[in-house]
Amino acid sequence: MASKSLSRRDFLKLAGIGAGTVALSACGVIQSTPSAPQPAVAVSTPTLPPTPGSPSLNVDLTAARTTVPILPGAETPVWRYQATVREGATEALQVLEKSYLGPIFRVKRGDRIQVKLKNELPDPTIIHWHGLRIPEAMDGHPRYAIQPGETFDYDFTVRNRAGTYWFHPHPHQLTGPQAYFGLAGLFIVSDDEETALGLPSGEYDLPLVIQDRLFDATNRLVYMTNMMDQMTGFVGDTILVNGQPNARLDVKASAYRLRLLNGSNSRIYKLAWEDGSPLTVIATDGGLLEAPVTREYLMLAPGERAELWVDFSALKSRKLVSLGFDAGTSGGMGGGMMGGGGGGSLLPNGAPLEIISFQVGEAGATVSPLPKQLSRMERHRLEDAVNKDNPRSFILAMQGMVHTINGRVFEMDSVASDEIVRLGDLEVWEFFNNEGGGGGMGMGMMNMQMPHPMHMHGVQFQVLKRQLESNRGQYDQVSAGFVDYGWKDTVLVMPGERVRVLVRFEDFAGTYLYHCHNLEHEDAGMMRNYRVDG
Ligand code: C2O
Ligand code: CU
Ligand code: CU
């Protein structure tokens, strides 16, 4: 397949409005603060009053079939979100031309957003706003899926802090295929605290959605090629960035903010600069960290976001790669039958990959030093949790042919008694991946030891601690790449690992979902309701 280069124009179109970078002082030596979580400080959680009255943004959003050019030759049939602004600034939506990805929303905290979703697909669908703190009825539970030809009206206020959120379909057992065939988009929130930092903006703020796809000889997308795909998750052998293969990007000699989303169905990335330079991480799922951290590599599981700050000014080029690691998909069976870890793909989950290469050209905006403090975080304290001595426990294990949560799979309308929490409570939740160490095997030969990126709807949480019970060898290949200091809504739980998070159910009563964000696991039932009682 011929190499195809993303023109800067495509990216600029995407990065959109306002070329001007915010006022910059004389250039200085750029430093990133070494990783040091700040001491816990109790700060009360600010509440944001809902914005009454007219919307800040009112959008018609259609989910429909179309074709886009991806590989040389025939266009690829895809499913795509397409939007038009009915009310509000047209710059609030940025379109990536020729990509199957949906528009990028650029909104402010406090904005009221109205979206009329029209389903022009042959299947039921519904949109979930991943990471947003919104009422149940707006959250895209599969119960709310609409039929072909129908519409759904979203109306919510953005309560989240500045950050990189996203949206994708969530219909019952169809999330995987619908996301795979193209339905996804970014939802970027800004706020005053962030704006005051003067981070790279405008053309220097680059959203990069990383996905993998499998194509047939006529450039059509191929999904689910064998029975293992559901258990391992589906991976493709072509890496796309913003919908383009062999991604190359011309950048200026300046500093950039890279907003990364792993929008893949099941592939996990171990991101690193090919030249061995450390990554400077400034944000996770729920927005800016308190201070930048550096990592030799960064793990990014499906659903997770991370933001990098990078100064290209002294470079000619730089490549972002994914390093190899053991993703557990060949489990206890040995390479032979399951070595592919994804049917038709030549690149199993965990294989080393190239993601995108940046070619540095002309001089750009003067580089201003990255602030040592990026945000103030209200840190939860364990002693404030209602169950501080008794974490709510969720055991992830393979039973028969499916990955389960506490032995259960998804049921549309039920909530078990241990899945009910109280509005306002701070809780400790523990996800224990018991697929490690021979635990949780279904059939003797299916001793899968897979990582599970666990995601909660409707909240942002903080990682309290990680504890490993088994599978040290696998763990040591990835554990230096976690960034747990910030707000998260998705957390990778490795085989044999217990991850405890602190989560406050502070916004709304209602029924929300928690699930594995490996979309094939999710569709196969590795998902449950939890209920917040008011
Ligand atoms: Cu992005 Cu229910 O997920
Ligand atoms: Cu979500
Ligand atoms: Cu999973």
Tell the residue nearest (CA) to atom 1 of ligand 1: 130
Question: Which pLDDT tens digit goes with each residue over 3-59?
Answer: 334 443 443 333 332 222 222 222 222 222 223 333 333 334 444 555 567 789 999
CB 469 within 8 A of CB 488: no
Residue 512 C-alpha to ligand 2 middle, in angstroms?
9
CB 65 within 8 A of CB 79: yes
Task: Using the atom order of ligand 1, give the atom closest to the CA of residue 166.
Answer: 1
Pairwise CA distance, residues 322 & 334, whole Å? 23
Residue the block writes with tokens 């590989």: 71
Residue 264 C-alpha to ligand 3 middle, in angstroms?
13
Tell the residue nearest (CA) to atom 3 of ligand 1: 130
CB 210 within 8 A of CB 264: yes
CB 105 within 8 A of CB 93: yes
Residue 260 C-alpha to ligand 1 middle, in angstroms?
16
Question: For 198-206, what is the mean pLDDT?
Answer: 97
Whole-prediction pTM value?
Answer: 0.89
Residue 525 C-alpha to ligand 3 middle, in angstroms?
10
Task: Using the atom order of ligand 1, give the atom closest to the CA of residue 490.
Answer: 1
Question: Which pLDDT tens digit goes with each residue over 424-469?
Answer: 999 999 999 999 765 444 444 456 899 999 999 999 999 999 999 9
Residue 441 C-alpha to ligand 3 middle, in angstroms?
14
Chain mean position to CA 477: 21
Question: Which pLDDT tens digit goes with each residue over 54-89?
Answer: 789 999 999 999 999 999 999 999 999 999 999 999
Q: What is the reported pLDDT for 330?
A: 60
The separation between the first and the last C-alpha atoms of the chain, rounded to the nearest angstrom, is: 56
Task: Using the atom order of ligand 1, give the atom closest to the CA of residue 513.
Answer: 2
Task: Using the atom order of ligand 1, give the atom closest to the CA of residue 457.
Answer: 2
Pairwise CA distance, residues 399 & 385, whole Å? 32
